[in-house]
Amino acid sequence: MFAGVVALGAASVFAANAASLPDFTQLVEKEGRAVVNVSTTGTVRENEAGIGGLDDDTLNLFRRFGFPLPPMAPQPPRERQTQSLGSGFIIDGAGYVLTNAHVIADADEIKVKLVDKREFKATVIGSDARTDVALLKIEAPNLPKVDLGNAEQLKVGEWVVAIGSPFGLENTVTAGIVSGKGRNLPDETYVPFIQTDVAINPGNSGGPLFNMKGEVVGINSQIYSRSGGYMGLSFAIPIDVAMKVAEQLKVSGKVSRGRIGVTVQEVNEELAKSFGLPKASGALVSSVEKDGPGDKAGLKPGDIVMAFNGQPVVTTSDLPRMVTDTKPGTNARLQIWRDKAARDVNVVIGEMDQPDRASAGREYKGGKKEDSNRFGLSVREITNPRQLKELGLKYGLVVQGAAGAASKAGLMQGDVIAGIGGQELTSTAQLKKALDDLKPGQALPLRVLRGGASLFISLKAPDK
């Protein structure tokens, strides 16, 4: 009798515990249909330099027995196919898909696979390396779509669910809680990340993070790991940030961001005291770009920005986000702390260059290209004034791909074409005309910048 009571009590405890745990089944069944697998294929050119064309084992024999090494000889660049897997989700019935920019960065071809096994070729509408957001488009009927939520309403400790394709395992579901909000990561000053303890692994990138209402609140983007796998910390891009980016990408294919041309640092307690500030808050201006928007407005090193257009700047990371969200060309009012007193400064917002070095690895490289099938050469115009200035050029074309005659001539991906013979390059049309005018067997001397050095490469027109 006593044993029976104990058994009944244990069963009641288990039942109570089961009732208190969240049930994700309906969420997964309803929303999982709009989660997709994103697979990409691309071509990577490997530029090698070897010794006499010998492999490592042979070279080790030379070294071991003291034989003199053959002279250094450049090896022809090799091309190899790359494949990657990621996740994404459909945001409307027209076929727009959100994913991470790094998922499609090196892609030549992108395919989107649905839960019902339908597979479609995707077009890149736009990609933003800074926020790691990319917008794709597929043409397909009867598409499911996710419901979008509000990331600002998330609370730390709240249950969240991720659906994606870790290690290629499609529609894998993992769950956890929100561990923190507004997280700043190194070199990631434009995204206030949602931190979770949801298990995220390679392949989950670009997939949705759901709240318990079945609404997408974020895009799973990064993990903290020393091994390459999940270690308890994962980070998602808030969906409101991602959707602002997506709207700009849909309209213009790129994201326009504001800038004021200052470098800022955190205000700690000691700095606050030394500047006569009542409390440690705001963004301390450590340097001002000459002739930049901030310089023209009168900002100086040592100014502490307390508010931007009436919004308090509590931490340093607040200011870059507020500025970048402001349309270039608009007037903004900054409340600053200078000489132990508050004052207002008006600044005209400038436009940020695209992209930056910190996010270069996430830049989509399959963008607009000018190419010539006859020479196997594809190039892209350098539009970043700062990059042109660093190269000492007024105009330049980056080699995006070199096959056929271009590869045989020695052109490599990443080379910058700066001139034709002794003339400076001034336009893509100039290069195209010079190439089109070549007869079979004739060659064109191109001045190329590579690794900080300038060299000439003779590009020969292929025989018919």
Q: What is the dihedral of CA 76, 77, 78, 84, to 10 degrees?
A: 170
Average pLDDT over residues 446-462: 88
Joined together, the tokens standing for residue 232 give 């308890």
377-461 maps to which CATH number?
2.30.42.10
Handedness of CA 228, 230, 234, 236 (dihedral sign): positive
Q: Is residue 464 over pLDDT 90?
A: no
Q: Which of 84, 205, 221, 281 is catalytic?
A: 205
Q: Which residues are annotated as a binding site?
A: 102, 132, 203-205
Superfamily of domain 24-62+77-138: Trypsin-like serine proteases (2.40.10.10)
- The catalytically annotated residue of 106, 128, 132, 415 is 132
Q: What is the mean pLDDT of residues 84-102?
A: 94
Which structure tokens are listed for 320? 């870059």
Contact between residue 335 and residue 305 where contact means Cβ atoms under 8 Å apart: yes
Residue 135 and residue 91 in contact, taking contact as beta carbons nearer than 8 Å: no
Whether the pLDDT of residue 256 is over 80: the answer is yes
Please check whether residue 162 is in contact with residue 175, taking contact to mean a CB–CB distance below 8 angstroms: yes
102 is catalytic: yes
For the segment 18-49, what is each residue's pLDDT rounded down to a tens digit?
A: 557 899 999 999 999 999 999 998 766 554 44
CATH number of 257-352: 2.30.42.10
3-state secondary structure of 389: helix
- The proportion of the chain whose per-residue pLDDT surpasses 90, expressed as a percent, equals 53
**Which residue among the candidates 84, 102, 234, 303 is catalytic per the annotation?**
102
pLDDT score at 58:
58
Question: Matching CATH topology for 24-62+77-138 and 147-252?
Answer: yes
In the Cβ-directed half-sphere of 449, how many Cα atoms lie within 13 Å? Answer: 17
Catalytic residue check, 187: no
205 a catalytic residue: yes
Of the listed ranges 66-70, 303-307, 372-376, the one predicted with least confidence: 66-70
Kindly indicate the confidence band of residue 57, based on its pLDDT and cuts at 50, 70 and 90.
low
Statement: residue 5 has pLDDT above 90: no
* Mode of pairing for the β-strands spanning 304-308 and 331-338: antiparallel
Structural domain boundaries in the chain: 24-62+77-138, 147-252, 257-352, 377-461
Q: Under CATH, which number does the domain 147-252 receive?
A: 2.40.10.10
How many other CB atoms are there within 10 angstroms of residue 197's CB atom? 18
What pLDDT does 369 receive? 46
Residue-level pLDDT at 146: 97
Enumerate the known binding-site residues for substrate. Answer: 102, 132, 203-205
